[in-house]
Amino acid sequence: MADATTFTNDTQVLLPFKGVKKVAIEEYFTSGHRTCQGCESALVMKLMVKASGPRTIVLGSTGCMYVANTTYYTTPWVVPWMHTQLGSSGSAALGTAAGLKSLMKKGKMKSEPINVIAFCGDGGGADMGLGAISATLTHKEYNSLILLYDNESYANTDIQLSGLTPYGAHTTFSPPGAVKRIIHTRWKKNVAGMLAAGHPECRYVATVCASYAVEMMNKVRRALTIGGPTFIHSLDPCPKGWDYDPMLSHELGELAVETGIFPLYEVEDGVVKYYGKTKAIVEGRKRKPVREYLLKQGRFAHFNEEDLAYFQAKVDEMWENWDIPGVVSFRKAPADIPMPS
């Protein structure tokens, strides 16, 4: 029986990797997962646990990073991993952390800081499981990271639109047709900003992209070190759902950032800090036109010039008219950008 007085609520101290050559060499998510060629979400999994190290428990909600990885009755995970339900990433993180904490406090388990990471896709996180994530982010006494990997669709069920699917994208629930060219007219929800703004005691929220691997891993390490519940939103190009040559996966991640469509930032104790190419944009670097990104993907092949102009205008507005550009949509002045007919 361990000594109950040795328990502290400390986290592991994971310092940032100082460059790509200092990155840990070990793999805790290894080869042999049934994901698409060029799956950036799989890359996120690999980098996530490479950053966290072996004293980690991962909870994976239903989605590609469940089904594809473990098809069938198999696993690519080296660290302990457990499936959880589609809307349960928040509750899985909370339950796991609370269970460990209780046992350690009472001396029923050896005390040590164990990373608890629960991941969800855009469907499971921004749609179904948003409530549970929100609740978990208010429980500052439990340390966990919730990572939302966003491939902009319910990808595992063969590509249906979610609350994070971009305007107009072709999915099986939004096929362009003879009468309705655009079924999905909704604009993407801003999850990271929303969660950062709405949970004042959540110490860390960040957006990442695996194309910038070292920064992505360092955000994971920061989230696991800072203490309390934390949230990271990762944008993952998806060859299947976005329809492109898998070889383009890395480049599309970069383009999403360079066009300003996906801003990279962290919010630590309420302070917003842009990083990477987004920082350059904030400091005046010109954003690449969105069409450079959109027209490399089959899911936007049906866009006409009006759609492209609309998309550009919305992204421009986010940078030029928001009080905190790219982060939260409180505006300097009302903006009305009419949607194409």
Partner 1 sequence: MAVATKPGGGTTVHDDQEMLISGSEAVAEALTLADIDVVTAYPIRPYDTVMQAIAKKIANGKLVAEYIVAEGEHSQFEIVKHASTVGARVFCGSSGVGWMYAMEAITVTPALRVPMVALVGNRALDDPGAFGVEHNDALSVRDLGWLLVWIDTAQEALDTTLIAYRVAEDRRVFLPVAISADGAFLTHSQTITRVPPQGRVQQFLPAYNRGDLLLHPDNPITVGPQVNEDWVIEIRRQNDEATRRSYGVIEEAYADFRRVFGRGPENPWFEEYMTEDADIVLMGMGTLSLPVKVAIRNLRKQGKKVGLIRLRWFRPFPYEQLARALQHAKAIGVIDRDYSFGSPFGSGVVATEVRAALYNADHRPPLIGFICGLGGREVTLEDVSKAVDICYAAANAGRAERPTYWLGVRE
Partner 2 sequence: MAHLTVEVVYRGIFQKNLAARITRGIVLSARKAGRWGIAFGRYGDSPQRNGIPAKDFAIVADTQEELEQHMARYEPKELQVTICVDDTLCKGVESWAWYGLQPINRLLDVGGHLLVTSTRSPSELLRDIHKKETPYNLWILPAKASFSGLWVFKEDHTEARILGALAKIASEFLSIDAVCAATREAEWGSELKAESARKAYERADGRRIQITEGNDEVPFSFEMPKWWEMREGLTIPAIPVGKPVEGGKGYRPERNPYFKKFTTRTMRPVVNFDTCVKCTLCWIQCPDSVFDVTPDGLYDANMDACCGCGVCEAVCPVKDCITMVNEAAFDDNQSQWEMWRQDKDAYRVWSNEKIKDKVTTVRSHGFRYRGQYEEELSKGPIEMGGTPVIQGIPGENAKAKA
Binding residues for partner 1 restricted to 38-97, rule: CB under 8 A: 54-57, 59, 66-67, 70-75, 77-85, 87-88, 90-92, 94-96
Of the pair 98, 183, the CB lying nearest partner 1 is at 98
At residue 314, φ and ψ (nearest 5 deg) are: -65, -40
Output the smallest distance, CB 75 to partner 1, in A: 4
CB-nearer residue toward partner 2: 33 or 219: 33
Partner in contact with 47, chosen from partner 1, partner 2, none, beta carbon below 5 to 8 Å by kind: partner 2
Among the residue ranges 61-69, 91-99, 116-124, 127-135, the one whose residues contact partner 2 (CB under 8 A)? 61-69
Instruction: Tell me which of 51, 114, 147, 294 binds partner 1, using CB under 8 A.
Output: 114
DSSP state, residue 86: T
| Residues 78-107: x where in contact with partner 2 by CB under 8 A, - otherwise, as a string | xxxx-x------------------------
When CB distances are held under 5 to 8 angstroms depending on the partner's kind, the choice from partner 2, partner 1, none that residue 333 binds is none
Tell me how crowded residue 185 is: count the other CB atoms within 10 A of its CB.
Answer: 12
- 226, containing H or E segment: helix 213-226
d(CA 56, CA 80): 7
Rounded CA-CA distance 311/261 in Å is 9
3-state secondary structure of 77: strand
Comparing CB distances to partner 2, the nearer of 299 and 314 is 299
Q: What is the C-alpha to C-alpha distance for residues 86 and 119, in angstroms, rounded to an integer?
A: 10
Tell which residue, 151, 184, 188, 155, has the closest CA to residue 170: 184
Of 15-23, 104-112, 247-255, 328-336, which segment contacts partner 1 by CB under 8 A? 104-112
CB 111 to partner 2: min, Å: 23
Residue 72 contacts by C-beta under 8 Å, 6 or more apart in sequence?
Answer: none
